[in-house]
């Protein structure tokens, strides 16, 4: 696995990371701690050195990650996040400096570590000036409790405000073949400021794997049940894009998921996607995406398909969409 650098302060990570959210949050029943730990360790054994969790994913998620990486803690980068009231994404934002400090201490305990390698603000808090947020993290960095500062789903103005106080190593936001909004303003801003980009949901919350169609039923507590883009009619309409990706994948002797990840890696050298999974074989498939080389003709073919096939359905319900891009 090759490595990439996020930001200008030497945060080197594997070209593909591992998004740990789905191990216990958002996509149906949680994995057992034993199974989750085994999967994280398998990822490390196959070259992954970048693991992503958050307070909002529940205490279990951070505990899983901390226990899993303990044997090789100094060889990996662990990212976690603050920013929701009482750690509950349903309650709205809370990035008051005192709350940031509290979350850092709690995350350090759950992760069983002496430092957080990358500490993200999970969503921009409109009630707390970005200078105060960045200043609080800057103090944690000075204290040795945090190494690098990140933002998630932040807009260009917030990125600039934060970066002026404390250099931002990475922005984590959704970006994939079926959500390309960051290309308009975010990617140029990141390039200008020297900030890395960590796309979450790089496989379109599973849809770009080709294993989901309009007949697929999700678990009752699966987040996708409330996502307009995953309504049955939207999935049926969006199948055309997945079919085209499948044809490109077949020609490259790859899978649709591998093409989706290879496409992201081909966009910029400072992009590090963090696909998640609960299955060992899917983990290995995803990591194989880092070895797929897309030439100019391949990228042109994908661009033509994206221009020709519109994606149907909003990526978030309105209330959640309002939190992004601030």
Catalytic residues, by residue number, are 57
Helices (runs of H) and strands (runs of E) counted in the chain: 11, 9
Helix locations, 19-177, DSSP H? 33-45, 59-69, 97-111, 130-142, 156-165
Go through the chain and tell me how many residues it has. Answer: 326
DSSP category for residue 32: P
Q: How far apart are CA 315 and CA 293, in angstroms?
A: 28
Six-digit token string for 281? 């074989």
Task: Identify the bridge partners of residue 222 per DSSP, sorted by sequence position.
Answer: 27
CB 125 within 8 A of CB 94: yes
Place of tokens 């922005």: 171
Q: How far apart are CA 250 and CA 47, in angstroms?
A: 25
**What would you measure as the largest C-alpha separation in the chain, in angstroms?**
54
Closest CA to 170 of 118, 126, 128: 118
The upper half-sphere exposure of residue 309, i.e. CA atoms within 13 Å in the direction of its Cβ, equals 20
Six-digit token string for 303? 């661009």
Q: How far apart are CA 325 and CA 99, in angstroms?
A: 22
Cα torsion angle, 191, 192, 196, 197, sign? negative
Q: Could you list the beta-strand ranges (E) of the chain.
A: 3-6, 11-14, 18-19, 50-52, 77-82, 116-121, 146-152, 168-174, 196-200
């Amino acid at each position: 696995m090759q490595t990439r650098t996020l930001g200008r302060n030497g945060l080197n990570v594997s070209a593909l990371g591992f998004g740990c959210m789905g191990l216990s949050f958002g996509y149906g029943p949680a994995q057992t701690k034993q199974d989750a730990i085994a999967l994280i360790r398998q990822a490390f054994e196959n070259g992954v050195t970048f693991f992503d969790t958050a307070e909002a994913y529940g205490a279990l998620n951070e505990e899983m990650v901390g226990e899993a990486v303990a044997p090789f803690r100094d060889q990996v980068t662990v990212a976690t996040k603050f920013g929701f009231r009482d750690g509950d994404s349903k309650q709205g934002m809370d990035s008051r400096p005192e709350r940031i400090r509290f979350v850092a201490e709690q995350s350090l305990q759950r992760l069983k570590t002496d430092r957080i390698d990358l500490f993200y603000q999970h969503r921009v808090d409109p009630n707390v000036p970005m200078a105060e947020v960045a200043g609080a993290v800057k103090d944690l960095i000075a204290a040795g409790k945090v190494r690098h500062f990140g933002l998630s789903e932040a807009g260009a103005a917030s990125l600039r405000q934060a970066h002026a106080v404390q250099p931002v190593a990475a922005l984590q936001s959704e970006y994939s073949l079926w959500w390309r909004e960051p290309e308009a303003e975010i990617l140029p801003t990141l390039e200008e400021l020297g900030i890395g980009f960590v796309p979450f949901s790089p496989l379109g919350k599973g849809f770009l794997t080709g294993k989901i169609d309009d007949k697929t039923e999700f678990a009752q507590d699966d987040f996708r049940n409330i996502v307009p883009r995953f309504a049955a009619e939207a999935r049926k309409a969006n199948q055309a894009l997945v079919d085209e990706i499948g044809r490109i994948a077949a020609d490259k002797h790859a899978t649709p998921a591998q093409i989706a990840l290879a496409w992201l890696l081909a966009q910029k050298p400072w992009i590090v996607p963090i696909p998640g999974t609960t299955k060992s074989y899917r983990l290995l498939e995803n990591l194989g995406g880092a070895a797929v080389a897309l030439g100019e003709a391949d990228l042109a073919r994908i661009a033509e398909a994206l221009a020709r096939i519109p994606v149907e359905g909003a990526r978030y319900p309105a209330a959640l969409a309002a939190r992004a891009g601030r």
